[in-house]
Amino acid sequence: MALPLRYSLRNALVRWRSTVATVLGIALVVFVFVLLQSLAAGIEKSSGNTGDPRNLLVVRKGSTAESASLIGRQNLQDIRYLPEIARNAAGEPVISADVLVLVNLPRRLHNGEANVLLRGVTPRGMELRPQVHLVAGRWFVPGHREVVVSAKLARRFANFDLGSSFKSGSATLTVVGWLAGGGSAFDSECWLDADECRSLFERDMYSSFLIRPVDAAAAARLIDRIENDRRFKLKAEREVDYYRKQTMTAAPIKWLGNFLAVTMSVGAVFAAMNTMYAAVGARTREIGTLRVLGFRRRSVVLALLLEGGFLALLGGILGCAIAFYWNGYTTATMGMETFSEIVFEFRVTPRLVTEGLIFAVAVGLIGTALPAIRAARLPVIAALKAI
Amino acid sequence: MSEPESIVTIRHLSKIYAQGDIQVTALDDISLVIAAGEFLTLMGPSGSGKSTLLHIIAGIDRPTSGECLVQGIDVTKLNESQLADWRNQNVGFVFQTFNLIPVLTAFENVELPLLLTRLGHAQRRKLVNTALDIVGLADRSHHLPKQLSGGQEQRVAIARALVTDPKLVVADEPTGNLDSHSAQEVLGILQSLSRQVGKTVIMVTHDPKAAAFGSRSIHLEKGELTN
Ligand SMILES: Nc1ncnc2c1ncn2[C@@H]1O[C@H](COP(=O)(O)OP(=O)(O)O)[C@@H](O)[C@H]1O
Ligand SMILES: [Mg+2]
């Protein structure tokens, strides 16, 4: 039979002065782990959940990013009327030839400049991306040099308030609305009319085509046709696959998070061990007494493990709570493919919290194991005679 | 009950501690019979082996040689876990330093040995309250040890020793840390356990006034019985 749970819990709490360092140490490890993983989760989600599985994205063969791709106008004429492409109610093919332009703009608070991705988009392109919706102001009117910027970018860049305007090269654009991309890659874009964009920035070529095929079979045929037609030199893939590949950038952060967690947890294990050695050492006679009363070695070990695990759990909860403070906090990084400002949110997911807590308890149990076993190994009489 | 039944029979019991080259003989060929219901006091100077003998009888320590039968069972032959169960069911302990668990209340301390039995919650509660009643501390059951006086702590410890209704109660200088008033109370309780409930009580003491509460007294000197 086990010792009552309250024996372990009260012992963990009664010595709070000596355990507070251990709890804080474990909290720090869990905090760093959860925060870095939530950063990675945020970066992954920023492109990972972008796109519609029914859509195909076409870029120039060999281009790793839409913004670095150039597609001639003849290609649009050749592809537009292919039978695999769906038609809308008005009978027009559902294809959007977009153009992407990188512009260098000043950040707020004179905090330097950064690249922003401008997307020249067509009405079809807007219909194909229902993730994107307006959160303030109105949509642009073609021909009026108007732009709708991401609300998340608006917080980071000067001149992105509604009614403000900014200059890039010879073009001056007025911000008339804010868009939200629902945590997708579009949260890092500014949209304007495609034809206007091409004329303002003197682009003859397109960057990409976004296509809605008739059905999945048509999509497969279309990919085949585009990739194998020697005239094109184009690459077609599902929109979601394209964005999933853009997600790779989070891997180093995940790796760093795991690396820091593992190295720091070694320190935390020793801290927990130190605390539990002291706690157990001061209670040697008490443990002897419990054994005299008939409690087995394993009951003593279990009670001490519960005590150490409980302490660590407190640390884990604290670490997660501090990390959770950053949940939803928006920040940005430079995209490795586009070299433009990519915004993302820290995402402290339930899964991450669970992992953080399990991690904390594991640290506590490992740190407690040795002191607990040593205490229980002592013969009853030796434990009882300890001062 | 015409013939006093023996509860403890000790034959040729020795305990030798080897510390490097030096050997310390704590008990030297002790033979002793203790009758059921006795209140036996073990007296002798410090270092004479009183605690060692008590620990062996109670199944906490092992002799170097000899046997110690308690109710017909040779406790020196039991293994670790058999001893743990045997102690839980047959012996109540009272220590000089009380040895209550600081984070548990008086009630929870007394309940501890019962957690190793099959008794249900309600039965345990009843037994704990009865034991606390016997030592006159029913109204202190929710106090922590640090909220009790030394005498009260020792009475809680006696309640913990009684709660499983063991045949044998052993006490190692139970009044050593108490003022004379508290000591009288504790000794009175131990005496009535033997006189009124028929328990066998073995108490180590070096205080003749304490020994006067017992029904028989034996003396140890350098590990040997002297009377
Ligand atoms: N763990 C031990 N190692 C070595 N010698 C011990 C140990 N425990 C007790 N002794 C010795 O055994 C003798 C008897 O000790 P003890 O039974 O505690 O005496 P008492 O209780 O009568 O004061 C003493 O000489 C003591 O020093
Ligand atoms: Mg002694």
A88-122 pLDDT, tens digit per residue, is 888 889 999 999 998 888 888 877 888 899 999 99
Q: Is residue A83 part of a domain?
A: yes
Give the helix, strand, coil percentages of chain A, each rounded to 5: 55, 20, 25
The DSSP bridge pattern shows strands A189-193 and A113-121 to be: parallel
Question: Hey, are the CB atoms on B95 and A3 less than 8 Å from each other?
Answer: no
Rounded to the nearest angstrom, the distance between the alpha carbon of A192 and the centre of ligand 2 is 93
Of A198, A232, A266, which residue is a domain's last?
A232
Q: Is residue A237 part of a domain?
A: no
Domain count, chain B: 1
Q: Which of B227, B158, B220 is nearest to B191 (CA)?
A: B158
Q: What residues in chain A have per-residue pLDDT under 70?
A: 1, 247-250, 334-339, 387
Per DSSP, what are the bridge partners of residue A236? Answer: A58
| Interchain CB contact of A133 with B (< 8 Å) | no
pLDDT at A169: 77
Q: Closest partner residue to A294 among B88, B99, B101, by Cβ? A: B88
pLDDT at A14: 86
pLDDT at B2: 46
Q: If DSSP codes are grouped into helix, strand and coil, which group holds residue A105?
A: strand
Domain count, chain A: 2
| Interchain CB contact of B85 with A (< 8 Å) | yes
Quote the minimal CA–CA distance from A6 to chain B in Å: 8
- Check: pTM over 0.95? Answer yes or no: no
CB–CB of B147/B106 below 8 Å?
A: no
Contacts of A380 in chain B (CB under 8 A): 60-61
Q: Is residue A167 part of a domain?
A: yes
The Cα-based distances of B27 to A38, A157, A381, B22 in angstroms read: 67, 89, 16, 15
Question: Hey, are the CB atoms on B115 and A7 less than 8 Å from each other?
Answer: no
Contacts of B61 in chain A (CB under 8 A): 380-381
Q: Is residue A206 part of a domain?
A: yes
Distance between CA A41 and CA A176 in Å, rounded? 32
Chain B residue closest in CA terms to A287: B101
Q: Where do we find the tokens 């004479």?
A: B48
Q: Is residue B83 part of a domain?
A: yes
**Whether residues A316 and A377 fall in one domain:** yes
Q: If DSSP codes are grouped into helix, strand and coil, which group holds residue A114?
A: strand
**Whether residues A100 and A32 fall in one domain:** no
Give the mutation candidate from A293, A295, A300, A304 for the B interface (greatest B CB count, under 10 A): A293
Quote the minimal CA–CA distance from A375 to chain B in Å: 16
Tokens of B130: 């009865």
Ligand nearest to the CA of B19: 1
**Whether residues A108 and A182 fall in one domain:** yes
Tokens of A61: 């063969």
| Interchain CB contact of B197 with A (< 8 Å) | no
Q: Which of B17, B53, B55 to mutate to test the pocket of ligand 1 (most atoms within 8 A of CB)?
A: B17
Rounded to the nearest angstrom, the distance between the alpha carbon of B73 and the centre of ligand 1 is 25
DSSP character at residue A161: S
Nearest ligand 1 atom to alpha carbon B46 = 23
CB–CB of B131/B118 below 8 Å?
A: no
Q: Is residue A136 part of a domain?
A: yes
**Whether residues A79 and A221 fall in one domain:** yes
Of A232, A256, A289, which residue is a domain's last?
A232
Range of the domain at B24: 6-225
**Whether residues A216 and A253 fall in one domain:** no
Question: pLDDT confidence of B219, banded at 50, 70, 90?
Answer: very high
With a Cβ cut-off of 6 Å, ligand 1 is lined by B 17, 19, 24, 26, 44, 46-52
Q: Is residue A57 part of a domain?
A: no
Query: How does A114-135 read in b/e, with b if 16+ C-beta sit within 10 Å?
Result: bbbbbbbbbebbeebbebbeee
A261-300 pLDDT, tens digit per residue, is 888 888 888 888 888 888 888 899 999 999 999 999 999 9
Residues 6+ positions from A215 with CB-CB distance below 8 Å: none
CB–CB of B205/B41 below 8 Å?
A: yes
**Whether residues A252 and A214 fall in one domain:** no
**Whether residues A203 and A292 fall in one domain:** no
Ligand nearest to the CA of B171: 2
Q: Closest partner residue to B103 among A14, A290, A384, by Cβ? A: A14
pLDDT at A300: 94
B198: domain CATH number?
Answer: 3.40.50.300
pLDDT at A270: 87
Contacts of A295 in chain B (CB under 8 A): 84, 116
Does B1 score more than 70 pLDDT? no
Q: Is residue A238 part of a domain?
A: no
pLDDT at B19: 84
Q: Is residue A253 part of a domain?
A: yes
Distance between CA A242 and CA A217 in Å, rounded? 19
Nearest ligand 1 atom to alpha carbon B48 = 22
Of A180, A201, A232, which residue is a domain's last?
A232
| Interchain CB contact of B28 with A (< 8 Å) | no
B46-85 pLDDT, tens digit per residue, is 999 999 999 999 999 999 999 999 999 999 999 999 999 9
- Nearest CA owner, ligand 1 atom 21: B51
Rounded to the nearest 10 degrees, the angle between the axes of helix A16-48 and helix A5-14 is: 100
Provide the total of helices (H) and of strands (E) in chain B, helices listed first.
7, 10
Return mean pLDDT, chain B.
Answer: 94
CB–CB of A386/A366 below 8 Å?
A: no
Tokens of B195: 């006189």
**Whether residues A86 and A140 fall in one domain:** yes
pLDDT at A345: 77
Q: Is residue B1 part of a domain?
A: no
Contacts of B153 in chain A (CB under 8 A): none
| Interchain CB contact of A302 with B (< 8 Å) | no
Rounded to the nearest angstrom, the distance between the alpha carbon of A306 and the centre of ligand 2 is 34
**Whether residues A290 and A363 fall in one domain:** yes
Range of the domain at A170: 62-232
**Whether residues A210 and A72 fall in one domain:** yes
**Whether residues A330 and A293 fall in one domain:** yes
Ligand nearest to the CA of B27: 1
Give the mutation candidate from B101, B117, B125, B169 for the A interface (greatest A CB count, under 10 A): B101
Write out residues 47-66 of B within 8 Å (CB-CB) of A.
55, 58, 60-61
Q: DSSP letters along A192-209, please?
A: EEHHHHHHHTT--SBSEE
Number of neighbouring beta carbons within 10 Å of residue A277: 17
Say how many CB pairs under 8 Å bridge A and B.
57
Question: Hey, are the CB atoms on A289 and B108 less than 8 Å from each other?
Answer: no
B79-93 pLDDT, tens digit per residue, is 999 999 999 999 999
Distance between CA B191 and CA B197 in Å, rounded? 10
| Interchain CB contact of A293 with B (< 8 Å) | yes
Ligand nearest to the CA of B46: 1
Write out residues 94-113 of B within 8 Å (CB-CB) of A.
95, 97, 99, 101-104, 108, 112-113
Chain A residue closest in CA terms to B100: A286
**Whether residues A206 and A332 fall in one domain:** no
Distance between CA A315 and CA B103 in Å, rounded? 22
